[in-house]
Amino acid sequence: MAKGLAPRIGLLTEHEMFTGFPLAAFDELVFGGHDIREQTTRDAALEVGRDSGSIAPELVKRLASDFRAIDRRVVTGSAPNAGKVITQMATPKVQRDRRTLRSTITRLRKDIESFRERERCDRVVVVNLASTEARIRLAAAHKTLAALDDAIDADQRTKIRPSLLYAYAAATAGCPFIHFTPSNVTLCPAMRELFDEHGVPYMGADGKTGETLVKSALAPMFKYRNLRVLSWLGYNLLGDRDGFVLQEGDNKASKIDTKDSLLPNILGYAPQTHVAIDYVASLGDRKTAWDYIHFEGFLGHRMHMEFTWHGCDAILAAPLVLDIVRLVDLATARGETGALTWLGCFFKSPIGVATQDLHQQWHALEAWVRAQG
Ligand SMILES: NC(=O)c1ccc[n+]([C@@H]2O[C@H](COP(=O)([O-])OP(=O)(O)OC[C@H]3O[C@@H](n4cnc5c(N)ncnc54)[C@H](O)[C@@H]3O)[C@@H](O)[C@H]2O)c1
């Protein structure tokens, strides 16, 4: 997009409502990060293109030097207590890493700081785009920063997941943090206290890009006509690495938590619901969701509707990440702190947002945009 090789469709921040808004331009953004595997970004783009036909190989070829530059800025990540399915994807070097939790945080923070200095960035927005981690039962150690610090100092690994360490590193480096995955421990109350202490904003959890996006737009319609939803069942099929990780019961449970919490909130009662997620390797980066909604209308007559959503994972998620980064960057520059609740429409489980209704979440974003003058 910065080079004029691709259109800007699908990006909200390119909509006319943002005309004249002082958002970072695409040629001002520098990408870097951590990974626990060694695949190049060029190969990842080719893989997505091969799977779904969404990224032309000629485009990847024209961007070869940009991909190489990004790969030089991707350094080895950390994965203590990441769980079996994620650990087995990691390189032997990552698997052998015996650093303590505290020294892992320090290393990750230094990586972020040296990226910022080397690339002469005004600000760094840290986005968690790592594989979905298995859920952890939140306990006393996650409630206050003091208790969490004690657990980290005592190297109590079973109480943390890697994404929490990245979030900790971001907060202490003074960087805003976007939690795009459903991992439940990452922005626990203790971590939110840490962000508040450092005066940097955060938001999450779990990007809303597919079936849940449709659900949060559609469910209010039943309310607007006083049609009673009796049951809503959703079946999700996806390929790619995300789907592979979600095969694992505990990792899948994290995702189901964020996908299945909407309807009682929107409707005001709890219909029978079901969310299934199945890995279908042959789908690659494509995903399909089929939802069946059984509802009751006038005279108690029962009717139903179905929808089928065919998406491409990367094509749905990438623009959302860019939109969120640009908006969070501006909010940080303007001194906002705490949970950025006006970003609720981008997330399945928006922190600090009472409503799951996409329309109401959208109005909150519009109000924020208007307030920016
Ligand atoms: N449409 C979407 O793609 C979408 C929508 C909502 C949420 N998400 C969430 O975003 C995340 C990424 O999705 P994806 O499709 O890009 O998955 P992916 O498997 O393609 O990418 C995840 C990457 O994270 C890396 N990783 C795992 N643990 C790490 C660690 N501890 N440190 C550094 N890197 C680590 C993996 O090696 C992999 O390269 C998932 O949690 C997914 O649930 C994706």
Query: Do 320 and 345 touch, CB atoms closer than 8 A?
Result: no
Sign of the CA dihedral 250, 252, 257, 260?
A: negative
Specify the residue with its C-alpha closest to ligand 1, atom 7. Answer: 207
Cross-strand pairs, 287? 238, 311
Kindly give the number of the ligand 1 atom that is closest to the alpha carbon of 163.
31
Please tell me whether residue 241 adopts helix, strand or coil conformation.
helix
Supply the pLDDT for residue 261: 82
Helix (H) or strand (E) holding 119: none
Alpha carbon dihedral 208, 211, 217, 221, in 10-degree steps, equals -160
Read off the amino acid at residue 326.
R
pTM higher than 0.85: yes
Boundaries of CATH 3.30.360.10 in the chain?
211-312
Helix (H) or strand (E) holding 24: none
Q: Which fold has domain 12-207+315-371?
A: Rossmann fold (3.40.50)
Query: Do 197 and 152 touch, CB atoms closer than 8 A?
Result: no
Burial 94-103 (b: 16+ CB within 10 A, else e): beebeeebee
Q: Which protein residues are within 6 Å of ligand 1, measured from CB?
A: 34-37, 77, 79, 82, 86, 89, 129-132, 162, 180-181, 206-207, 209, 240-242, 313, 316-317
Distance 128 CA to ligand 1 centre (A): 8
Kindly give the number of the ligand 1 atom that is closest to the alpha carbon of 44.
20
Distance 35 CA to ligand 1 centre (A): 10
Which residue intervals of the chain are DSSP H helices? 41-52, 57-62, 64-72, 84-87, 92-96, 101-118, 145-153, 162-172, 189-198, 211-224, 240-245, 249-259, 262-267, 313-333, 358-371
Give the chain's residues under pLDDT 50.
none
Supply the pLDDT for residue 257: 77
Distance 246 CA to ligand 1 centre (A): 11
Supply the pLDDT for residue 155: 98
Please tell me whether residue 240 adopts helix, strand or coil conformation.
helix
Residue with tokens 């590193």: 169
Boundaries of CATH 3.40.50.720 in the chain?
12-207+315-371
Distance 88 CA to ligand 1 centre (A): 15
Structurally, at CATH architecture level, domain 211-312 sits in: 2-Layer Sandwich (3.30)
Distance 131 CA to ligand 1 centre (A): 4
Phi, psi of 36 (to 5 degrees): -105, 0
**Structure tokens, 6:** 């691709």
Provide the greatest CA pair distance for the chain.
68
Cross-strand pairs, 204? 179
For the beta sheet containing 126-128, the strands, ordered from the edge strand earlier in sequence to the opposite edge, are 126-128, 177-179, 202-204
Neighbours of 224 (CB within 10 A): 8
Q: Please tell me the distance from the alpha carbon of residue 160 to that of residue 172, in angstroms, as a whole number.
A: 17
Helix (H) or strand (E) holding 163: helix 162-172
Supply the pLDDT for residue 67: 97
The bridge status of strand 272-279 relative to strand 74-76 is: unpaired
Q: Is 175 exposed, middle or buried (0-12, 13-18, 19+ CB in 10 A)?
A: buried
Specify the residue with its C-alpha closest to ligand 1, atom 3. Answer: 313
Supply the pLDDT for residue 169: 98
Cross-strand pairs, 289? 236, 309
